Structure 1
Amino acid sequence: MTPAAASAAVRAGFRRVHGSDPEGVWAAPGRVNLIGEHTDYNDGFALPMALPQAAVLAARRREDGLLRLHSAQGDGRTTELRVAGLAPGGTPGWTRYPAGVVWALRERGLPVGGADLHLDSSVPTGAGLSSSAALECAVAVAYNDVYGLGLSRPELARVAQYAENAYAGVPCGVMDQMASVCCTGGHALHLDSRSLEVRQVPLDLTGHGLRLLVLDTRVKHDLADGAYAALRAGCERAAGLLGLPALRDLAGAELPATLVRLPADLVPLVRHVVTENARVERAVERLAAGEPEALGPLLTEGHASLRDDYRVSCPETDLAVEAAVAAGALGARMTGGGFGGSVIALVPAGDAASVARAVTDAFAAAGFAAPAVLEAVPSPGARRIG
């Protein structure tokens, strides 16, 4: 759907639900992370790109302090909350994400009040494609405009991250939100999670005869269930034992001598973070050299690290990687926080259909539900579209 068509559809939905026209329509995309997983909360590096799939939000400011939320993907009901009463833990289901952003803005002392919001999102939920960050960022950019806040893109990302951390209870890093607000079409985003400095890295897959497939295993994950928090806590504990601000400060050359100083349960976490940061840097070098096909082995290497060291893979994601590579993919890996979700596969354009079919056949043979397949195209970040 074009941005104009998406805007028209969401405007029509807003009128049906709220009875009048919105002030505007904003879109914030989901993302896939090419490489650099579980590095952002270690102050490290990542290389995400925005997807065409986005959370599209129509909004209108209210003066009575009410926040009225409606989703085209919901049960048809409108949730009504009083902005002054927003507090972590007090908002159910999907509404905790938009409510959390409004709460986070107020926590910063910004003069924001209520709004009528209507959402229609095409980002698959629970697939590791950052559907929650897309929703948060759509609300953040809409509020930034209708309330005239003047926040920068990195500031909006930090607000959205704080909402997910402190309000929704997910201790994520900032990569998902930075990708959603800062990516540009035709590029991947080289992100320094400590400084929030970004570099737009050209990613012309089509021009090199390549396609990037997203294979949604349909294994849903919920990063608020404690496993993600335990990983982050382990990394922070390791950094503390080593006297470092974060694991980003451990150089690769120091890794062998450092690992022997750590408790056994922390060794694989540290090894993954340090080697994953190095993979990001190698990926950026290859893209800068005009060699996107060289990403393939890095993807597969990264998946092995996530599977064996970080232990966030699952049988479905492992099978998707194995089947895709066996069918001709240049490389593949799980993307997102793990415990399910999606796999990305870099494939020659002529092999895309056969790779997708091979993964689908492998899932059927294993008794798994059929994966959903879509193509990842480097797309623009959050913006007003109507």
Structure 2
Amino acid sequence: MEKLINYTIEAFQSVFESEPESIFLAPGRINIIGEHVDYSDGFVLPAAIDKYICFAVRKVDNSENCTFFAKDFDDSFSFNITQKQSPVSQMWVNYLLGVFNVIQESGKKIGGLQVAFSSTIPMGSGLSSSAALECGFAFILNELFDLNLTKKDLALIGQKSEHTFVGVKCGIMDQFASVFGKEHQVIMLDCNSLEHQYFEANIEGYSLVLFDSCVKHTHLTSGYNDRRKDVDKAKKILWKKFPEVEKFRDFSFSMLDEVRAEIGETSYKRSLYLLKEIKRVEKAAKALSEGNIKYLGTLLSETHSGLSTEFEVSCKELDFMVEETLKEEGVLGARIMGGGFGGCSINLIKSENVDDVIEKITQKYKVDFGIEMKVYRVKISDGINEYERNEFII
């Protein structure tokens, strides 16, 4: 972490020829279980992780400009804070402009700003670098310009930014985890009401390890929005037939069966996966709280099967990776994580077996696909925070 912070500070110094006044860290996230249910009234079980976007920031008095430098892209962008903004061709910029747009439309004012940022969150791997970017910037504006926004406000601003300026109809989970994360704890989040509770991640003796397939995706091109449409079609017909049901998660499997012919097989499979996954999250939270790590692993593997065959967001690389990982000694569960069509698998492994599993799966994956798999050992961390400069030595 200190290396990232110093690297970002040096980037700021080089570009702006001055010292940053503040340092902020916005984490990525893992989701233990509960994939694609965050836009369907479901429960999810995410946690912030020790992979971050670091922002080095300085307020510029009497300036109408906000200037960003994205160190990892070696790219800059500046805009006038008094003007209304529209999406631009640089995709990374839109996550930030979208945040500014939401705050501007609320009538709140910000001043001039210089921002340099860099990241250890691997992009396109399902670890939510986009949510960290959005919510990190919203957090910064809230802190520096006394906007009096709550943590919930910040998460919702990040989500709205992605909806309006990026064009991805994401749920709220990623943003919520980045803002609300706590070290050594997972969040059971009701994506309908945003009520949440924390559970101790009591997995001593076991490790959460991410295997990056290095198959890159973006939600815009991966069919994410198509899955939303499939589910929305089913919801519309379900609520027409059963108007007394308040939340999607309260539909029964028998209700879904009743409309199967009307909604079609594709929408049926999507909805069946979601209803089963919502129930798995509740079971997983209970298993985690009771230290029943073996059952937690079983649930993870069941989720992968559903994502692959029912929701159909996996791919041959991830299916191979999960299938081979589950054969190894000490592996309790494995599944694809994130939006799908590439990215990472999340693996629950006995700590004593981790090195051996990594070595074997890396080799098998290289033989079958010619790709060097990347491995991320992650720890559950705190959410977005400002860090004091005197904690770090340049």
> Is the TM value for this pair above 0.5?
yes
Partner of 1:343: 345
| Alignment partner of 1:353 is 2:355 | yes
CA contact (8 A) 1:33 1:335 kept: yes
Q: Is the partner of 2:103 in helix, strand or coil?
A: helix
Change (3 A) 1:78 1:305: same
Residue of 85, 88, 103 corresponding to 1:90: 88
Aligned residue number for residue 214 of structure 1: 210
Structure 1 pair 226–210 and aligned structure 2 pair: CA distance change class (3 A): closer
Equivalences for residues 150-189 of structure 1 within 5 A: 150-189=148-187
Provide the C-alpha distance between the structure 2 equivalents of 1:146 and 1:16, rounded to a whole number of angstroms: 23
Identity %: 32
- CA RMSD for the aligned pairs? 1.8
* Structure 2 unpaired stretches of 5+: 240-244, 389-394
In the TM superposition, residue 217 of structure 1 has moved relative to its aligned partner by 0.5
Partner of 1:233: 229
Q: Structure 2: how far apart are the matches of 1:88 and 1:171?
A: 18
Give the 3-state SS of the residue equivalent to 1:326 in structure 2. coil
Find the residue that maps to 2:78 and give its secondary structure. strand
**Residue in 1 aligned with 2:290?**
289
- Structure 1 CA distance for aligned equivalents of residues 158 and 294 of structure 2: 33
Distance 1:39 1:275 in 2: 10
Structure 1 residues 180 and 61: alpha-carbon distance in aligned structure 2, compared to 1, 3 A threshold: same
Q: Distance in 2 between matches of 1:378 and 1:55?
A: 15
Whole-Å separation in 2 of the counterparts to 1:382 and 1:112: 20
8 A contact 1:26–1:138 mirrored in 2: yes
For 1:89-128, what aligned pairs fall within 5 Å after superposition? 89-128=87-126
- Give 1:19 deviation, angstroms: 2.1
- Specify the alignment match of 2:242 in structure 1: none
Q: Give per-residue Cα distances to partners, 1:96-118, cap 9 Å, x unaligned.
A: 11222111211222222442111
Moved more, 334-343 or 10-19: 10-19
**Residue 315 of structure 1: aligned partner:** 316
In the alignment, which residue of structure 2 is the partner of 1:276?
A: 277
Which residue does the alignment assign to 1:298?
299
Structure 2 distance, partners of 1:48, 1:100, is: 24
Could you give the per-residue CA deviations for residues 347-366 of structure 1, whole angstroms, max 9, x where no partner exists? 11111112112221221221
DSSP 3-state at the match of 1:225 = helix
Maintained 8 Å contact 1:43/1:194: yes
The count of corresponding residues between Structure 1 and Structure 2 is: 381
Match of 1:15 in 2: 13
State the partner residue of 2:69: 70
Partners in 2 of 1:352 and 1:247 — Cα distance? 38
TM-score, length-normalised on structure 1?
Answer: 0.94
Which residue is 2:219 aligned to?
223
Contact between 1:66 and 1:82, CA under 8 Å: does it hold in 2?
A: yes
Distance 1:349 1:158, change over 3 A: same
Taking structure 1 as reference, are residues 382 and 251 closer, same or farther at Cα in structure 2, changes over 3 Å only? farther
Q: 2:87 corresponds to which letter in structure 1? A: G
Letter in 2 for 1:384: E
Structure 1 residue 22: Cα displacement: 2.4
CA offsets 1:217-271 (integer angstroms, 9 cap, x no match): 0110111226111111221221111116653232456444454553222101100
- Structure 1 CA distance for aligned equivalents of residues 295 and 52 of structure 2: 28
- Structure 1 position 311, deviation (Å): 0.4
3-state DSSP of counterpart to 2:341: coil
State the partner residue of 2:328: 327
